[in-house]
Structure 1
């Protein structure tokens, strides 16, 4: 069977039709070039060139083989590129978990970055709450996640990709909606819609801390797991609710978002991964996020 080196020598000679010029391009002398061509012709059991003292010409078999040789070399070069890109994490598959709230603004941004710079990487999405993501990361069922829980070293690595201020969602027909800035005391005795302590524990605890820090007893009337569900209940007039500012991206009719005069409270969003997962695409994706979101080490 012939070697790729022989195919390369054949194609250069087929272009130059001159042993001296072809040998110079290949950085060798004419003798080893002639030997490469002889070995190739022996493997194919057919002459590829007509040679005499004046010129070199391709035989009909040589003309037919030139096209095939180009395809073989192109496939070989592509195979090298594919392997290299997989080993560098620029190709292959990346399984990504995400919370519903992250899909309003931050997930589309990351996917857009990847579609431009990691075109050969297939990203498979799975919507799941943060606790499910942590379990899936540890079990290597997903490769990266967008969740609210801070990374838990040494098993889980992560970087903070967003910090969102908590805003108050109010029905647009409510008297509080007419005010551009509210006091936390305005919520005393107000019906509060909050997140589920099971599926939305991060936000549930964060919101509960707001009331505790301000010595208020919240009057919870509903607990649901998703931001859009909370906004729907606010729109229905069942109460008011604290939501992260990414809720602004939903442009929910009948609901206005207002800042509350208090010590600012923020919800963090993290890009998470398992440090024991061998998928090379993980760190490539993480580095892309770092670069495009301009994340520094201080934001880990």
Structure 2
């Protein structure tokens, strides 16, 4: 097998066309350089240079080897810096899971900051509900999630990113489209309701059940995504409980009405990650999020 010193010696001789000038360029004498080239040719298994008393020329095999040799040396010079940058979290890959509504409220600004501060970190995005993000973090498919609590705090660490109100999405012109105030739970009697799956959208299901007394018999559709719920509201299929950031979805024909008696910070999104994660780029981004 050949060495990088032999390859560098070959490149110098090929570019200078002369052993003496190449040896001077490498700060060495000509005899050891000649031995390096001989060892290289033996390792490669073919003659790379034609020699005479006046000049040195590449053989066809040598010309082909020269192009690869330059790439090899360039890669060897980049490799230590790349390794150091990855170890320091300045380069590498970060796989981020996010919910649909977090993409409107949080994802854009977060990606902008990561790109500005860590331009050599490649970001891979995956739109998922919280339960899928948790699974992705556990099995190593994700590094960071933008998800809804609660989380197993023995396994995960997290940081709150957003707390907002729970509103009622209604079709514009609906009886509950109250422009000058909120609505009470009593006003939801006998109103068709679009509700969330207690398994695939557990966070919003539990939140609605805990905060707003409503009749389960009024549920006409069960969905997994806020976007789907708002689209059904626009189609006149019923009303839906949504986070205030759902307004950013930009679906026409929908109004968002405050619900009386609810605090304005009941809906949360957290950054979440595995406690013992070892991705240095993740550590950088976590520090960024926390500060």
Q: Taking structure 2 as the reference length, what is the TM-score of the superposition?
A: 0.71
Match of 1:214 in 2: none
Give the secondary-structure state (helix, strand or coil) at the position aligned to 1:182: coil
Deviation, 1:208, is 3.8
1:248 aligns with 2:247: yes
Query: How many pairs align?
Result: 276
The answer to whether the 8 Å contact 1:163/1:266 transfers is yes
For residues 96-132 of structure 1, give each alpha carbon's deviation from its aligned partner in whole angstroms, at most 9, with x where no partner exists.
5544444556557767867x945766x47463x3234
Matched residue, 2:187? 189
- 1:20 is displaced (CA, Å) by 5.1
1:284-299 → structure 2 map (5 Å cutoff): 284-285=281-282, 287-288=284-285, 291=288, 295-297=289-291
**1:174-200, CA deviations, whole angstroms, 9 ceiling, x for partnerless residues?**
244351x52354x42323544333322
Q: Which moved more, 1:103-112 or 1:167-176?
A: 103-112
Residue of structure 2 equivalent to 1:138 = 138
Hey, what's the Cα distance between the residues in 2 that align with 1:139 and 1:14? 51
For 1:256-275, what aligned pairs fall within 5 Å after superposition? 256-260=255-259, 263-275=263-275
CA contact (8 A) 1:227 1:243 kept: yes
Counterpart mapping for 1:1-300 below 5 A:
1-19=1-19, 21-43=21-43, 44=45, 46=47, 48-52=49-53, 55=54, 57-61=55-59, 64-75=61-72, 77-78=74-75, 81=79, 84=83, 88=87, 90=91, 97-103=97-103, 106=106, 117=119, 123=124, 125=126, 127=128, 129-140=129-140, 142-177=142-177, 179=179, 181-185=180-184, 187-190=185-188, 191=191, 192-211=193-212, 217-220=213-216, 221-222=218-219, 223-237=222-236, 239-260=238-259, 263-276=263-276, 280=279, 283-285=280-282, 287-288=284-285, 291=288, 295-297=289-291
Compute the TM-score of the two structures, normalised by the length of structure 1. 0.69
Unaligned segments of structure 1, at least 5 residues: 212-216
Instruction: Give the Cα–Cα distance (whole angstroms) in 1 for the partners of residues 58 and 31 of structure 2.
Output: 24
CA contact (8 A) 1:130 1:148 kept: yes
Distance 1:174 1:287, change over 3 A: same
| Cα RMSD, aligned residues only | 4.0
Secondary structure at the counterpart of residue 177 of structure 1? coil
